[in-house]
Chain A
Amino acid sequence: MTVSVEPTSVEAGETVSTQALRPHAEDAFAHELAALAAQDDRPRPARWKLSPWAVATYLLGGTLPDGTVISPKYVGPRRIVEVAVTTLATDRALLLLGVPGTAKTWVSEHLAAAVSGDSTLLVQGTAGTPEEAIRYGWNYAQLLAHGPSRDALVPSPVMRAMAEGMTARVEELTRIPADVQDTLITILSEKTLPIPELGQEVQAVRGFNLIATANDRDRGVNDLSSALRRRFNTVVLPLPESAEAEVDIVSRRVDQIGRSLDLPAAPDGLAEIRRVVTVFRELRAGVTADGRTKLKSPSGTLSTAEAISVVTNGLALAAHFGDGVLRPGDVAAGILGAVVRDPAADRVIWQEYLETVVRERDGWKDFYRACREVSG
């Protein structure tokens, strides 16, 4: 007992962040942020730690005049990062949209870290997120003992960000019930948060802004009201642009996951990964890789993250039930599950794809057969 308690009681203060399973962006990349701040001589908006240009450089990567290398945090179109940073600089709220696995949260965390030096003012949106999480709550012991006062008030991350001129983050905005979402409207348009119980208000200090992320496949669940939508500039984070980039991401992630699951490395997996990525990309884009045949797109998202799980699943199948080599049969069932989400419409789309594209393709015979088998 005592042995296990010992280390945690000793490790305190600063060292916690280095011990953390996943340190915050501002801690993990503190040296890059410091180097950027030192070199940055461009004008900074009020309470920004860096100039917009330096924030963009922090996200996209580059080499500073003194030779410090800034690692790229986001690999994708430069335009997206520029628009996002500029949006924050014009004190408009930023809404990052995208299918799962397009680095929305990652980008929002790094933006907050670079702009305000603090990425922890975070509201996690769920179906049960209450209004208090966005406005303020009460410390009921205090409230009962001393009546309503500022001391009894428990500020939300958003309120703190307003008071201190920082960047607040709201994750999964569209999962928050619509009535709770709407509390953001006053905050974003009037830049103030009234506290009627005290007859006071908290006015946002210059430098306050808000980054929200939302999954654009969830549209219609708790769709943003147009009043709220109007307060945001929207940036859609796209899926990887080229097949090569996506194959790269998938194989790297699969490798990491596979190692953590202690799966034996598949010697010949790359060909199958390429195939999975090709199938996903083609169905997603609604056009074959050679750009010659149009296809219908199924209702599923078919994101890179799903491709990764299909391949990981296939690897597990191959390792435990197969001969250890990733074969078409190992991924076919996973692909079918990812593609056919709506049993009626998607099945037709999938079979059409099999018959018109896969069957004709050179070297895809075994894959076609495997898919036919599982498709029934």
Chain B
Amino acid sequence: MTGEARAADERDGRGREVTVGEKAVGRRAGSGPVLLGVRHHGPGSARAVRAALEEVRPGVVLIEGPPEADALIPLAADEEMRPPVALLAHAVDEPGRSAFWPLAAFSPEWVALRWALEHDVPARFIDLPATHTLAWGRQEDEAATEGERPLDAQEAAADDTGAEPADSADPADSPDTADAADPADLRIDPLGVLAEAAGYDDPERWWEDVVEHRDAGEGDALAPFTALEEAMGALREAYGSGGHDRDLVREAYMRLQVRAAQREFEDGVAVVCGAWHVPALRQKTTVAADKALLKGLPRVKTDMTWVPWTHRRLSRTSGYGAGIDSPGWYGHLFSAPDRPVERWLTKVAGLLREEDRIVSSAHVIEAVRLAETLAAMRGRPLPGLSETTDAVRAVMCEGSDVPLALVRDRLVVGDVLGEVPPSAPAVPLQRDLTALQRRLRLKPEALERELELDLRKDNDAARSRLLHRLRLLGIAWGEPAASRGSTGTFRETWRLRWEPELSVRVAEAGVWGTTVLSAATAKAEADAVTAEALADVTALAERCLLAELPDALPTVMRVLADRAALDTDVGHLAQALPALVRSLRYGDVRGTHTGALAEVAAGLAERVFVGLPPACAALDADAAEEMRRHVDAVHGAVGLLGDAPATGHGRLRSRWQSVLRVLSGRDTVPGVIRGRAVRLLLDDGELAQGEAAVLMGLVLSPGTPPADAAAWIEGFVGGGSGGGMLLVHDERLLALVDAWLTGVPAEAFTDVLPLLRRTFSAYEPGVRRTLGELVRRGPGAGSGATAAGAGIPGFAADLDTARADAVLPVVRLLLGLDDVDENTNNDLAGVTG
């Protein structure tokens, strides 16, 4: 029967149905299986499928999907099963190789499944078994590793495996990995062609207008399918397989299955599949030809289960690419009993009210009017998502896109999380974990025990990584504990305890991926995006390094850089920097690639440099003290960072010093910070002793309020280690301090005293005593050395070379420099001097 003749036949059937009613079903059924071509996540399609099934009442429902899942079908009727869920197929020996078939409440396949279960009609999946599709993916990967394909294509192929049958971006069908593998393999987008023919620039919109927004329930339930089949038939005639070469194999398999079902159930066969496949299923081919196509397909041992899914993952933006932009909107269209636009806008109003925006019923009324008029003006049958969105923006959001983003996130995409009954087979993540536990000889035990890991050993390092990854996933099997004895970075102590409910946690974490590694990576990325504070992201970066998740790092780093750029509080930045630098060094210890990290750390440092001077102005005492700690932290971090490679940030250290100079010289900066800046510069050798003395004299001169001067002193000599030693050794500075102190008027002295006491009481008793003795001896005593001017105070003007040489052999021994060349020798001499 030609396509045309059949179409006529179908029309005939339809005509009769109106007049003869009952008989029509038998007539149609006799013409072969009822083929219901759908879009994979189309509420309109779902509705139409339900209506068609109600009318045709088939004896068996065949659904496009992996037949390995047949045994799992009854679970769909389980009370605890709540869509969106996905069928997950994965290779038994390689849990990372997997594929998902997501089903939402408004998916036609789900509707068909539920209909079959409710009516005690057998349901079957008829697509090519996952054992073959997964094996295809493996073959491609192997081919790729042989270097037949460029690197990016290989990655794409690997990624695509996960999404392959799930992807229904073109509603007619799911593309397969061949696409990514071969760029020359051009494929057509069947909807795009049809939409273009209808004069639409956006295929999605065309499909919405023609199929999804169609009023259900009027006329023949099968009419839309017939029309769609004709259109698809014409397309397939023009384009053949349209570049979807593997579809031919899949369709051959489906045809065989349909035939088998027909033999078994005679007429009552209904098939729910992508509209693109319908003409191929209608095609008359010989069994032998179909079997020939299926010969010699590779296979891999696979396992299937149900996993919970989310609306966010159905949305195109999340990368899994089930291929719909607006699952929440579709869900609404499917579940709303009537007046979808009014109900939708009421929902939006409710959401905006929860967020404390003033939205009245009058707003909703106006929004509905605007949406409907817009639809009329654009020539659409019903307001679609774009019309309602425009109306919400203009009427409820005062033209602003900010609240609209909220609407999009919460309603258009939505936060719906599916549930799967516990009786569903174990998720591959659990298998992967079990395998890892066996390999690493780390048995899950309920008894708490402590585990010491030496990260220099491969096995221990792998154990540490596993525990860190599990922690990221919220599976708190091990808790890090303080190491006893050693504080070395190569040692880790864990407290292990396996609680039974952790198995549940593992099942929950199955959403994130099929292996511990991929799940932890996905979780870390998601956490980074949702993290609230900058410090959270830096902490996450640290954990990513500990758990060795190099794939998650780029995302975390991007988020980190973004947060840093937008954070206006220098304190936050200064806090984040040391953690980041710490992870940088830790990453080095573990041999992780940390180039990106160094880049971000350098950027963060730059921002701190720019923001610090203005942030230091006009602070009270507590804030100044906190800021001084930040300055110290940044100084330490810059010191460490100075060695790390970072392109374009070569002169971090010198820039930091110029920031310190600015700080030290600005009057609006609190004394404690100014003093600190001078001290840090002095320690770095950036400020000559003489300059420091000038600065100090300036600050301690009688004009300065005593409290300010005392704060400066505290910043200068207090805190840190060896603060007092500087005073002991630098007699000129001591003389300055001494002169200032004796110059303080009696009435002001009581104001200064507490501050001074705070500073000086922190010194060790020995230092205090020495200072006291020095002061008693009087200023200038024993300052013969400084009189020479050139030398470093407290030391002779010239090196005592004989004494210096005596030290050298020991230093050589310590540094392990047996073959020291002349230069190093000089440096060493400088150091010892």
Contact = CB atoms under 8 A, between A and B. Distances in A.
B395 interface: yes
Contacts, number: 90
Given A89-B377, A90-B370, A226-B358, A293 B565 contact: yes
Contact of B614 (A82, A95, A97, A348): A348
Contacts of A87: 370, 394
A356 B606 contact: yes
A83 B370 contact: yes
A233 B370 contact: yes
| Most A Cβ at <10 Å: residue of B363, B394, B397 | B394
Nearest to B558: A292
Contacts of A85: 377
B363 A230 contact: yes
Contacts of A97: 398-399
Interface in A53-104: 53, 56, 79, 82-83, 85-87, 89-90, 92, 95, 97
B377 A296 contact: no
Given A86-B374, A86-B377, A87-B370, A360 B610 contact: no
Interface string A311-352: 000000000000000000000000000000000110110011
B390 A90 contact: no
Given A226-B358, A351-B610, A355-B606, A89 B398 contact: no
B605 to A, nearest CB: 10
Interface in B547-568: 558, 561-562, 565-566, 568
A31 interface: no
Contact of A89 (B373, B386, B393): B373
Contact of B400 (A52, A56, A82, A236): A236
A4 to B, nearest CB: 49
A6 to B, nearest CB: 51
B614 A230 contact: no
Interface of chain B, main secondary structure: helix
Interface in A128-152: none
A326 B510 CA distance: 61
A235 B399 contact: yes
Contact of A355 (B393, B399, B609): B609
B561 A233 contact: no
Contacts of B390: 79, 82-83
A345 B568 CA distance: 9
A222 B377 CA distance: 35
A180 interface: no
B159 interface: no
Contacts of B607: 352, 356
A59 to B, nearest CB: 13
A259 interface: no
A352 B609 CA distance: 9
A372 interface: no
Nearest to A224: B398
B366 A53 contact: no
A294 B562 contact: yes
A82 B378 contact: yes
A250 B363 CA distance: 39
A82 B565 contact: no
| Most B Cβ at <10 Å: residue of A97, A286, A348 | A348
A252 interface: no
A295 interface: yes
Interface string B366-397: 10011001100110000000100011011101
A315 B378 CA distance: 45
B42 interface: no
A229 interface: yes
B395 A233 contact: yes
Nearest to A84: B394
A203 interface: no
A234 interface: yes
B202 to A, nearest CB: 12
Interface residues of A, number: 37
Nearest to A347: B614
B561 A52 contact: no
Nearest to A345: B568
Contacts of A230: 360, 362-363
Nearest to A53: B377
A233 B391 CA distance: 8
Contacts of A226: 358
B611 interface: yes
A97 B566 CA distance: 26
Nearest to A237: B399
Contacts of A296: 565-566, 568
| Most B Cβ at <10 Å: residue of A53, A79, A344, A345 | A79
A87 B369 CA distance: 9
B400 to A, nearest CB: 7
Nearest to B604: A356
Contacts of B378: 82
A10 B611 CA distance: 68
A79 B394 CA distance: 11
| Most A Cβ at <10 Å: residue of B360, B373, B566 | B373
Nearest to A42: B377
Given A90-B369, A233-B366, A293-B561, A360 B394 contact: no
B591 interface: no
A234 B401 CA distance: 11
A84 to B, nearest CB: 9
Contacts of B102: none
B399 A82 contact: no
A351 B648 CA distance: 17
Contact of B565 (A92, A236, A295): A295
Interface string A98-131: 0000000000000000000000000000000000
Interface in A8-49: none
Interface string B393-428: 111011111000000000000000000000000000
B308 interface: no
Contact of A294 (B362, B363, B561, B648): B561
Nearest to B648: A360
Contacts of A235: 394, 399
B645 to A, nearest CB: 16
B606 A234 contact: no
Interface string B336-358: 00000000000000000000001
A86 B398 contact: no
A85 B376 CA distance: 12
A348 B659 CA distance: 14
A90 B394 CA distance: 13
Contacts of A229: 398
B35 to A, nearest CB: 38
Contacts of A293: 561, 565
Interface in B538-587: 558, 561-562, 565-566, 568
B162 interface: no
Contacts of B603: 356
Contact of B611 (A52, A89, A292, A352): A352
Given A85-B377, A229-B398, A92 B611 contact: no
Contacts of B395: 92, 233-234
The 3 closest A-B pairs by CB, nearest first: A234-B399, A236-B399, A294-B565
Given A82-B374, A236-B401, 11 more contacts: A56-B377, A83-B393, A97-B398, A233-B370, A234-B400, A236-B399, A295-B565, A296-B568, A348-B614, A355-B606, A355-B610
Interface of A: 52-53, 56, 79, 82-83, 85-87, 89-90, 92, 95, 97, 226, 229-230, 233-236, 286, 292-296, 344-345, 347-348, 351-352, 355-356, 359-360
21 contacts: A52-B377, A56-B377, A83-B390, A83-B393, A86-B373, A87-B394, A92-B369, A92-B395, A97-B399, A230-B363, A234-B394, A234-B395, A236-B399, A293-B561, A293-B565, A294-B565, A295-B565, A296-B565, A351-B610, A352-B610, A356-B565
Interface of B: 358, 360, 362-363, 366, 369-370, 373-374, 377-378, 386, 390-391, 393-395, 397-401, 558, 561-562, 565-566, 568, 603, 606-607, 609-611, 614, 648
